[in-house]
Amino acid sequence: MAWQWFHKLGSPRWFYEKTSRWLTWFAPLSVALLLVGLTWGLAFAPVDAKQGNSYRIIYIHMPAAVLSLAGYYLMAIAGGIGLIWKMKLPFMVMQSAAYVGAALTALTLITGSLWGYPTWGTFWEWDARNIFMLILLFLYLSIIMLGRVYPVREAADKACAILALVGTVNVPIIYKSVDWWYSLHQPASIKLTGSSSIHPSMLYPLLLCIVAYYCFYTLSLILYTRQEILAREARTKWVSELVNTQSSHTKD
Amino acid sequence: MSQWEEPAPNELSISNLTCTREDRVLFTQLEYTCCAGAVLQVLGFNGAGKTTLLHTLAGLMPPASGVIRWRGESIAGNRSYTRSLFYLGHQAPVKPALTVAENIQWLARLRGQSPSAEELCSALEQVDLEAYQNTSCGHLSAGQKRRVALAQLYLSAAPLWILDEPFTAIDKEGVGRLQQLLATHASHGGISVLTSHQPLRLENLHTLDLAAFQPDEACAYV
Amino acid sequence: MSQWEEPAPNELSISNLTCTREDRVLFTQLEYTCCAGAVLQVLGFNGAGKTTLLHTLAGLMPPASGVIRWRGESIAGNRSYTRSLFYLGHQAPVKPALTVAENIQWLARLRGQSPSAEELCSALEQVDLEAYQNTSCGHLSAGQKRRVALAQLYLSAAPLWILDEPFTAIDKEGVGRLQQLLATHASHGGISVLTSHQPLRLENLHTLDLAAFQPDEACAYV
Amino acid sequence: MSEQSTVTTSAWRTIVARDLKLIWRQRTDVVNPLVFYLITITLLPLGVDPSRQFLGSIAPGMLWIMALLATLLSLDTLFRSDYEDGSLIQFQLSAEPLFLTVLGKVTAYWLTTGLPLSLISPVLASMLALPDGGYIALMLSLLLGTAIMSLIGALGAALTVCLRAGGLVLTLIVMPLYLPVLIIGANCVGSAVAGFSFLRELALLGAGLAIALIVMPAAIAGALKISANQ
Amino acid sequence: MSEQSTVTTSAWRTIVARDLKLIWRQRTDVVNPLVFYLITITLLPLGVDPSRQFLGSIAPGMLWIMALLATLLSLDTLFRSDYEDGSLIQFQLSAEPLFLTVLGKVTAYWLTTGLPLSLISPVLASMLALPDGGYIALMLSLLLGTAIMSLIGALGAALTVCLRAGGLVLTLIVMPLYLPVLIIGANCVGSAVAGFSFLRELALLGAGLAIALIVMPAAIAGALKISANQ
Ligand code: HEM
Ligand SMILES: Nc1ncnc2c1ncn2[C@@H]1O[C@H](COP(=O)(O)OP(=O)(O)OP(=O)(O)O)[C@@H](O)[C@H]1O
Ligand SMILES: Nc1ncnc2c1ncn2[C@@H]1O[C@H](COP(=O)(O)OP(=O)(O)OP(=O)(O)O)[C@@H](O)[C@H]1O
Ligand SMILES: [Mg+2]
Ligand SMILES: [Mg+2]
């Protein structure tokens, strides 16, 4: 019984139909959460004593950073499941997670640089975390690139899954080595406010933002995967039926 | 040669095989059984799926559906099947920087054989390359390069041969000799599956035309 | 088509040709003249020097000695000869990343032609690849890839065709069609020189067996 | 006359169009000298002292050296696939002289490696903390320098195309010829950073490009004719 | 039992022998990562301040970065010719598991790139005025590091073997994974130069090699199986 459920999970059609129903309430919810969290953080949280208003970028920056790392593992796990149980859906999730993850990593880097200008006086500093983020972006990009250049879809999926799995071993190693490299060089020129010392009135919106980012991440992953499903299953009967019914709806 | 003395009869059976390339069904519901001593020539127009079929038979590609059995066992993940197989594709696995003899040797070693000097010589003689033994393969003509790869057949003890267009670029006399070799292999109880657009002159030649297994319009795509 | 209307008759004459590969003489004192409307099949065992001969005829390689004349003029450094020549070698110059139509187009453009959409379509139809027009060539089978290269023949206005094993990997029906094309080319006064180990069924087919021009022992090396 | 000239430039145009299309299809060539450049520049501070001042002092030289290596990395493939599938023979037998076709290939190569590399260089320069004032010199010198290096590199690629492990002989052939370009280019950026005029270096690079444009296509065509018939 | 073990290692031995012979015949592969290494190290002082003190301060990082790039340069060819002429299919169908054959190829690769590169590194280090005390650390760390990088690189090569312009996707895949090796290796030399013990770094590299030896052959074999049937 349990296995039947598991294999259903691997069916793109099942996923598409199920998520169609979820999306009706999940999409508004996550967008609302995000809006509330960001407005609270960006507009209503108190001004920081040292950094003034520029610290507010943290509400965009930090959750994105946390998620881009978590997203990598999600991607790798999806790839692993696809490889082991030879299912289609996890591969699609993996590809979508690569895109969403790369976007989040890029967002972290961009907001970080923007934040760096008022605080560090430069857009880029060779700081351990920055380098790690940059490398993570490369890891994402390599998976996206590999997926795009492969001539055959199935092979591309498997190749990406192998790369993602090898990456899981490597990401912690990269993280540690970068950190370790940094400790050997001179210490940071600027110390950030540690998250422990953060004032609750700033912390609560941050927590809300993190939750909202998680929801939003799930939402974008689902949307991306649905698009991927339609693209890959375009020739199957159920998709063409779906397209037919939708186009007849729009005609009415 | 040890495999040949085994009691289980050589038999390759294909049941209900469907192969696809990028969602397009090439052929479907293919049923065929090759018994010991058969030479099977797979026919079909360009793009019919002959190479795909041979790849699938060699276990290099999983079929979309259906089962292939060797001596009654499915070939999926079957290592003993791999060992009783000799496959030669479109391309000759011949390194231009190595000499003819060296090329033959490494290919044989890879399959776990270590041919003696005499065996090597006789194989070279069979493919008419004695004079080129120490020539590096980059200096051979197209047909001679193919012959280096074909020399493996004279060394191989595998009961099942899968050959994709083995006659490409081979001259008339070479084609005749190769057909004779196939006949000998068959008479020892071996099986050969090959593709060729040329008609063959062999006694117990079976043909399999892939055109007969084309899918109907309705299920041309999975 | 403009070249065809020229007054000078198409004629390819080979006189006293000797070709060598790395000091070894492949054939010597080769004399032959192809007149307009001839199809010449070069024969020879593997390694006889057929490919070398065709390369020499195409002006890609200087001969060891002897002269090749086209319409009475030596071909060495003769640009108008290059323009009246179509050469297709062992390998098909087909880029896997481009689609079939794109491949045909760039090859034609390179020879200074710009085929219209209809010409392109009819050439594709002739080689049975209409359905694959927008497929990238990396996804074609071996024979289909060769057919992409062969489609050039239907677009070419060159009076002299030099084809190295054009029938490789082509199925029976395709071989028939190609022979028909060669016959048409000949009937328009064109000349084709080709190698093949298969016997051809053409009316005014001439054959040239390189085995007859082997050097004697004494002068096998230069 | 004009008919003649349209014919002669059409080989060039055909090959530029074909190669750009090929590269765009494979998509990787456009992005990847960039990616190589980006990644090697990223690796740099990991090996040495990452302080801004130190990085700034090595930046002009490093940006140029890494650009050179990035160009070198993809050179090997320039004529290889054309050689292997017989396209090179078609080039030789085409209606127009070989050097035009070759020029087309080099143009496409430069458009997809040198040009994007030069355009992205300011971003990387700012990561390496190149002092202000060096940016324009860096971009201009890279634009000219990569063009020269593409022409030189194509000669190396043509000479080694018939070798199996050509990529590495190539390095040996090409590097000494790249040296003057590197020295002038790095000096150009160096002068600009120091606040001097860098016009002389740019003029030198321009002159180099002119010479290379005159000499190289014929040399490359000759080299290809030799290699093609192995 | 012993018969079994001779059979299983014979694929490895065959391939090592074949590849070494191939490389020796072509002769260029042995020499050229070295040549590349030599030339890039020579280029370095042309781009930056050539005073001994300055060079000495960037030497550990640069020696390692250039070694990394030299290894990368020839990676592309690792499986390519085997893919193109169908040898890869023969590897898959050989009597022994694919990962042994793969291990054989990687061994031959390392023996002809990593090993000579490590052995020659002291000479280049002295050209870059590496302070005394760094030499042993440099050689040992390069020996271990190039072995790890060969294994990682082989995975990249296997994943991209069926792509036409694979050499550059390869860079993107491989570089981030090389990063920890580079950091630890450069630090190893750095510590040695500073007079500290570098055993910890060597131990880390050793551990990395052990992990890579366990994980990579299977991953490479998997990747090859996927790419071989395109
Ligand atoms: C491009 C530059 C930057 C990158 C790539 C980057 C990356 C990251 C990452 C990966 C995290 C998550 C750390 C974790 O979860 O442990 C993070 C968190 C954070 N970043 Fe950044 N960052 C950048 C610039 C900045 C700047 C300029 C500031 C402020 C001066 C800053 C302040 C913070 C803070 C306060 C947090 C959360 C608190 C913490 O976990 O330590 N970041 N950043
Ligand atoms: N690149 C080369 N370098 C040196 N010798 C070569 C080279 N190519 C071919 N040869 C030699 O030249 C001779 C003729 O080769 P060629 O390719 O012309 O033969 P062919 O008649 O076309 O044979 P096939 O029927 O096999 O295509 C062969 O004996 C071969 O050994
Ligand atoms: N790598 C590939 N990717 C996608 N499709 C492919 C690939 N190779 C072949 N195909 C398609 O699969 C079909 C069958 O190809 P296959 O190579 O099996 O044909 P074949 O019967 O061997 O033809 P030929 O006689 O030309 O060798 C062809 O229509 C081709 O378009
Ligand atoms: Mg085939
Ligand atoms: Mg030939």
Least confident of A173-177, C52-56, E21-25: E21-25
Q: Which residue is closest to E177 within chain A, CA to CA?
A: A170
Helix (H, G, I), strand (E, B) or coil at C92: coil
The total of other beta-carbon atoms located within 10 Å of residue C23's CB is: 9
Task: State the complex-level ipTM.
Answer: 0.85
Distances (CA, A) of C52 to C22, C149, D130, D159: 12, 21, 58, 22
Per-residue pLDDT, C186: 93
Q: What is the mean pLDDT of residues D157-186?
A: 81
Element (H, E) at A136: helix A128-149
Question: Of the given ranges (B112-126, D26-40, D177-191), which has the lowest mean pLDDT?
Answer: D26-40
A108-117 contacts, C-beta under 8 A, 24 or more apart: A108/A61, A108/A64, A108/A65, A108/A68, A108/A133, A109/A133, A109/A134, A109/A137, A111/A57, A111/A60, A111/A61, A111/A64, A112/A61, A112/A65, A114/A57, A115/A54, A115/A57, A115/A58, A115/A61
B197 or D53: which leads in pLDDT? B197
**Banded pLDDT at A194 (limits 50, 70, 90):** very low
The predicted pLDDT at position B124 comes to 93
CB D86 within 8 A of CB C91: yes
pLDDT at A187: 47
C143 inside 8 A of chain B by CB: yes
Q: In chain C, what residues touch D95 (CB-CB under 8 Å)?
A: 82-83, 110-112
pLDDT, mean over chain E:
85
Which pair of tokens denotes residue D114? Answer: 């040198």
pLDDT value at C135 more than 70? yes
- CB atoms near residue B18 (< 10 Å): 19
- Share above pLDDT 90 across residues of chain A, in percent, rounded to a whole number: 33
Residue E1 has a pLDDT of 39
| Mean pLDDT confidence for D137-162 | 92
Q: Whose CA is nearest to atom 27 of ligand 3?
A: C142
Task: Report residue C19's pLDDT band, with 50, 70 and 90 as the boundaries.
Answer: very high
Domain B8-84+159-222 sits in CATH at 3.40.50.300
- Rg for chain E (alpha carbons), in Å? 18
Q: Is the pLDDT of residue E173 over 50?
A: yes
| Alpha-carbon separation of residue E20 from B97, B116, D91, E75, E101 (angstroms) | 11, 22, 36, 15, 14
What's the pLDDT score for residue B1? 46
Distance CA D86, CA C95 (A): 10
Site to probe by mutation for ligand 2, drawn from B130, B139, B146 as the one with most ligand atoms within 8 Å of Cβ, is: B139
Counting from 1 in the atom list of ligand 1, the atom nearest the Cα of A123 is: 1
User: DSSP secondary structure string, A54-91?
Assistant: GGGGHHHHHHHHHHHHHHHHHHHHHHHHHHHHT-SHHH
Return the ∠ at Cα A183 (arms to A179 and A189), rounded to 5°.
105
- Render pLDDT for B166-194 as a digit per residue (tens, 0 to 9): 999 999 999 999 999 999 999 999 999 99
DSSP E29-55: HHHHHHHHHHHHHHHHHHHS---HHHH
Mean pLDDT of chain C: 89
Confidence of residue E38 (pLDDT cuts 50, 70, 90): confident
Helix axes A153-184, E135-160, angle to 10 degrees: 160
- Relative to the alpha carbon of C91, which ligand is closest? 5
CB contact under 8 A, A141 and D49: no
More confident residue, B7 or C144: C144
Q: Which residues of A touch E219 (CB under 8 A)?
A: 162, 165-166
State residue C221's pLDDT score: 66
> Mean of the pLDDT values across residues A97-124?
90
Q: Is the predicted pLDDT of residue D165 greater than 80, yes or no?
A: no
Q: pLDDT higher for E164 or B13?
A: B13
pLDDT value, residue A56: 84
A136 lines ligand 1 (CB under 6 A): no
Which of B22, B141, B168 lies closest to C168 in CB terms?
A: B168
Mean pLDDT of E194-207: 91
- Out of B30-39, C4-13, D35-44, give the one with best mean pLDDT: B30-39
pLDDT surpassing 60 at residue C28: yes
Q: What angle do CA A204, A209, A215 make, to 5 degrees?
A: 135
Residues of chain E in contact with residue D40, where contact means CB-CB under 8 angstroms, are 65, 69, 175
Interatomic CA distance for residues E188 and E198, integer angstroms: 5
C134 lines ligand 3 (CB under 6 A): no
> pLDDT at position D141, please?
95
Question: Residue A84: how many CB atoms within 10 A of its CB?
Answer: 10
Q: Do E43 and D179 touch (CB under 8 A)?
A: yes
Which residue owns the Cα nearest ligand 2 atom 26?
B143
What's residue A199's pLDDT?
75
Average pLDDT over residues D205-215: 95
Decide if E187 contacts E194 (C-beta within 8 A). Answer: no
Q: Do C85 and C192 contact (CB within 8 A), yes or no?
A: no
CB distance A235–B22 less than 8 Å?
no
Question: Is B92 touching ligand 2 by the criterion CB < 6 Å?
Answer: no
pLDDT tens column, D81-125: 888 888 888 888 887 888 888 888 898 888 888 898 999 999 899
Per the structure block, which two tokens stand in for C216? 């004697």
- The Cα E149–Cα E209 span in angstroms is 9
Q: Reply yes or no on whether the pLDDT at E4 is more than 50.
A: no
Q: What is the pLDDT of residue E205?
A: 95
Please give the pLDDT value at position B7: 58
CA distance linking residue A135 with residue E122, whole number of Å: 30
Least distant ligand from the CA of C171: 3
Mutate to test the interface with A, among B19, B20, B22, B23 (most CBs of A within 10 A): B23
Distance from CA of C178 to the nearest CA of B (A): 14
> CB of A119 closer than 6 A to ligand 1?
yes
User: What confidence tens digit (pLDDT) does each residue in B41-78 have?
Assistant: 999 999 999 999 999 999 998 898 999 999 989 998 88
Please report residues of E whose CB lies closer than 8 A to that of B97. 22, 25-26
Question: Which sequence spans correspond to the domains of chain C?
Answer: 8-84+159-222, 91-157
For residue range A31-71, list pLDDT tens digits in order.
Answer: 999 999 888 888 887 777 777 777 888 889 999 999 999 99
Question: A236 to chain B: which residues are within 8 Å by CB?
Answer: 221-222
Name the average pLDDT for chain B.
89
More confident residue, C176 or B203: C176
**What's the pLDDT at A64?**
93
Is C1 a residue whose pLDDT tops 50? no
Separation in Å, CA of A128 to nearest CA in chain D: 10
| pLDDT band for position B97 (cuts 50, 70, 90) | confident
Mean pLDDT of D204-220: 94
**Residue whose entry in the numeric block shows the structure tokens 């039947």:** A4
- Verify whether ligand 1 is closer than 6 Å to residue A66 (CB atom): yes
Residue E20: the pLDDT is 77
Mean pLDDT of D192-204: 91
Interface residue of E102, E177, E187, E209 to substitute, partner A, most A CBs within 10 Å: E177
C54 CA distance to ligand 5 middle (Å): 9
The answer to whether D115 and D146 have CB atoms below 8 angstroms apart is yes
Q: Do C168 and B170 touch (CB under 8 A)?
A: no
H or E element that contains E219: helix E199-228
